[in-house]
Structure 1
Amino acid sequence: MKFSVLIAARNEAAALPLLLQDLAAQTLPAAHFEVIIADDHSTDATAAVVSEAALGTDYSLRLVTLSAAQTGKKAALLEALRVAQARWLVCTDADCRLGPGWLAAYAAQVARTPQANFISGPVLLTGPATFFQGLMGLEFAGLVGVGGACLARQQPTMCNGANLAYRRGAFEAVGGFADNAHLASGDDEFLLHKIHRAFPGSAHFLADAAAIVRTAAPTTLAALLRQRVRWASKWRHYQSAASRRLALLVLGANVALAAGLGAGLLWPELWPWVPAAWGIKLGADAWFLLPVLRFLGRRKWLAGLVPLQVLYAPYALAVGAAGWRGGYQWKGRAVR
């Protein structure tokens, strides 16, 4: 058996049947992978959905449940890993959708880079074709692109737990989640940073369109902010210098552009420089984002670049401040 697919699930009875169908449609032979779903105290029919599906799948599908003392995604993944049999562990989320070549793309990457210990895959936001969804998708595509580019330079900064894989031996060698188990978020990036430190040059980005995982975008602004605050809550715990520098660079560049507009109102002699700065920033963003959007099949999202730039400074400041303060609601739980 080559891959163990680990999935943490909490109240995902509606989404899981679609994910299980996608796993059944994988082009990688069923004998080459197993799927383990860890039920994190669901109050819906999540466990029943998995148990029923396990009776009719060609691949090995198992359900594990968390004890009363275990809660959260990290605990769920560890419980799934405890019974996993493969040397390579592949992770996605219970509400994601997978293409048929998803696992085959990972198998090909492992064959190309046999020294690899960590592989980060691409994620695409999906949803109705609205202006709001386009802005969310564009921002998220930028995160995916930056994460991939940093991995290509072997200065890893970010990845997404909806689509990644790591070698069991590397996970155990760096202590798994032990030193950040108290944090609800960060099962992905903290692990990436630790494996990179312990095994330099062994983290890679899976730049294969067949490996794209699709996940639904937040449906409201409030839901988007809750998600982003959850992500931002781990920034102050980063030990990776590259991640800290990147966060400061992105925030500083976007706030400086917004501040430039205000400065131009106070000192009109600055106006020739203000549009020049905006032009350079927008041109650089378009140059970077165009191949990323082409890879994701969402080139039309580039039309939202200007409005996203206008909104980004107050958005980033608000999310960053809320994340630094800590505390948010996720999956029906209050997290500190």
Structure 2
Amino acid sequence: MLLSTIFIILGIAYFSLIFLFIFGWLRLDYYADTLVSTTTRISIIIAVRNEEKNIKQLLNSLSIQTYPKDFFEIIIINDHSSDKTLEILENVRLENLKIIELNDSEIGKKTAIDKGISVASGEIIITTDGDCTFGENWLTTIVSFYEKEKPDMMIAPVTFEKKFGFLNQFQFYDFMALQASTAGACSINIPIMNNGANLIYKKQAYLDLQNATKKELASGDDMFLLINLKKNKKQIRYLNSFDALVTTKSEHSIPKFIHQRIRWAGKNKNHADVHILTIGLIVFLFNLSLLSTAILAYWLPNVLFPLALLFITKTIIEYILISLAAATFRKKLNIYVFFFFQVFHIIYTSIIPFLSVFSTYKWKGRRI
């Protein structure tokens, strides 16, 4: 009886949370305006390490931006790349490109971003990653939204390249759910996530904060900045626009995928944001309860019906949520594939939080 009561309470809490995200997404207006006064100066900050396979594609997509070149600069900070990244950068002919190298005593993405901001001339900072690409109206859309709203931080959409293969497809659906939750939560003024691949903020808002990104920690520049701005009651908005979308690459192996998710989840050990921790706990406990009940069903077959009911309900409402995001991102979904991935998603969501507490991870060849 106690087990059933806990199961029901967790189910109600989880479904209420997803409906809240759906409500938040439906409150978002789609932004399609690209009219700008072209007076806002932008600094695009990109910390790179061993991106020789991606850097040309990144620079090509930056070179086709419709926003006037005189009003934005590209600052790329090389974090001790051991491949040909720096060589490729030095042979690029872009007038608005600055290349900075970290010295021997400097290391890591946070240090790189901080160094980039220290020389940035823009009113607003945009961070992205070395494996990202953008549409031609990316900057114009961002600036147009900024000039109308003037938020301290703008969270903009990110998607993975949709490729064939189990792992790529799983990451695509998982990341789509994260993006939909990010937008829905931000819309109801409880921002809980962002992504450094497409993050915009006022330079002054960053400078006003003491240790804005917790530089003593290796990961989490994006999330700690969000939490600090939120704590200081700064305005944080979500930019719901296909033109503002950034496309990045998924991980190509299961170990790299696991390390990435451990790195993301591990950020939660070092902050006390009530919204993030509460929502994370609800998601974790509900999925863990589903997994535990599925195992117990071998000895207690009477739990199979409520388990199946909760599983189907979970699948349907989560599919509704990611369908809203997919419409903005212009991505096609398959409910049968999504249904199949649900089993693996429940297992993965139950295990990653444990691994993030007790495990280290690798990023770009570094043990962190």
State whether structure 2 residue 74 is matched by structure 1 residue 39: no
Q: Deviations over 1:8-53 (max 9, x none)?
A: 0111122111111111100111111000000101122222222221
Aligned position for 1:49: 88
Q: Which amino acid in the other structure matches residue 361 of structure 2?
A: Y
Q: Is the 8 A contact 1:138 1:301 kept in 2?
A: no
- SS of the residue corresponding to residue 199 of structure 1 reads coil
* Alignment partner of 1:4 out of 43, 57, 76: 43
* Alignment partner of 1:313 out of 341, 346, 350: 346
Deviation at 1:225, TM superposition (A): 0.7
Q: Deviations over 1:66-113 (max 9, x none)?
A: 111110000111111111001100000011111111111111110221
Q: Is the 8 A contact 1:37 1:62 kept in 2?
A: yes
Q: Is the 8 A contact 1:254 1:309 kept in 2?
A: no
CA distance in 1 between counterparts of 2:238 and 2:349 reads 26
CA distance in 1 between counterparts of 2:334 and 2:100 reads 40
Aligned position for 1:83: 119
* Alignment partner of 2:265 out of 217, 232, 256: 232
Q: Which amino acid in the other structure matches residue 224 of structure 2?
A: F
Deviation at 1:332, TM superposition (A): 1.1
State whether structure 2 residue 246 is matched by structure 1 residue 213: yes
CA distance in 1 between counterparts of 2:145 and 2:334 reads 28
Deviation at 1:303, TM superposition (A): 3.3
* Alignment partner of 2:207 out of 153, 167, 172: 172
Which stretch has the larger CA shift, 156-165 or 308-317?
A: 308-317
CA distance in 2 between counterparts of 1:302 and 1:112 reads 37
CA distance in 2 between counterparts of 1:243 and 1:277 reads 24
- SS of the residue corresponding to residue 127 of structure 2 reads strand
CA distance in 2 between counterparts of 1:24 and 1:302 reads 38
CA distance in 1 between counterparts of 2:57 and 2:287 reads 39
Q: Structure 1-normalised TM-score?
A: 0.93
Aligned position for 1:189: 223
CA distance in 1 between counterparts of 2:96 and 2:305 reads 64
The change in CA–CA distance for 1:292 and 1:176 in structure 2 (over 3 A counts) is same
* Alignment partner of 1:20 out of 59, 64, 68: 59
What runs of 5+ residues in structure 1 fail to find an aligned partner?
none
State whether structure 2 residue 303 is matched by structure 1 residue 267: no
Aligned position for 2:188: 153
Aligned position for 2:173: 138
* Alignment partner of 2:291 out of 254, 258, 261: 258
Aligned residues: 329
Deviation at 1:174, TM superposition (A): 1.8
State whether structure 2 residue 356 is matched by structure 1 residue 328: no
CA distance in 2 between counterparts of 1:184 and 1:275 reads 41
Aligned position for 1:199: 233
CA distance in 2 between counterparts of 1:303 and 1:84 reads 47
Q: Structure 2-normalised TM-score?
A: 0.85
CA distance in 2 between counterparts of 1:207 and 1:121 reads 7
The change in CA–CA distance for 1:203 and 1:302 in structure 2 (over 3 A counts) is farther
Deviation at 1:264, TM superposition (A): 3.3
Q: Which has the higher contact order (CA 8 A, sep 6+)?
A: 2
- SS of the residue corresponding to residue 104 of structure 2 reads coil
Give identity over the alignment, percent: 25
State whether structure 2 residue 129 is matched by structure 1 residue 93: yes
The change in CA–CA distance for 1:304 and 1:61 in structure 2 (over 3 A counts) is same
Deviation at 1:187, TM superposition (A): 0.5
- SS of the residue corresponding to residue 298 of structure 2 reads helix
CA distance in 2 between counterparts of 1:267 and 1:207 reads 46
CA distance in 2 between counterparts of 1:176 and 1:166 reads 16
Deviation at 1:301, TM superposition (A): 4.6
Deviation at 1:209, TM superposition (A): 0.3
CA distance in 1 between counterparts of 2:53 and 2:301 reads 56
Aligned position for 2:10: none
- SS of the residue corresponding to residue 69 of structure 1 reads coil
Deviation at 1:211, TM superposition (A): 1.0
CA distance in 1 between counterparts of 2:230 and 2:57 reads 34
CA distance in 1 between counterparts of 2:272 and 2:222 reads 14
State whether structure 2 residue 323 is matched by structure 1 residue 286: no
- SS of the residue corresponding to residue 197 of structure 2 reads coil
What runs of 5+ residues in structure 2 fail to find an aligned partner?
1-39
CA distance in 2 between counterparts of 1:301 and 1:83 reads 46
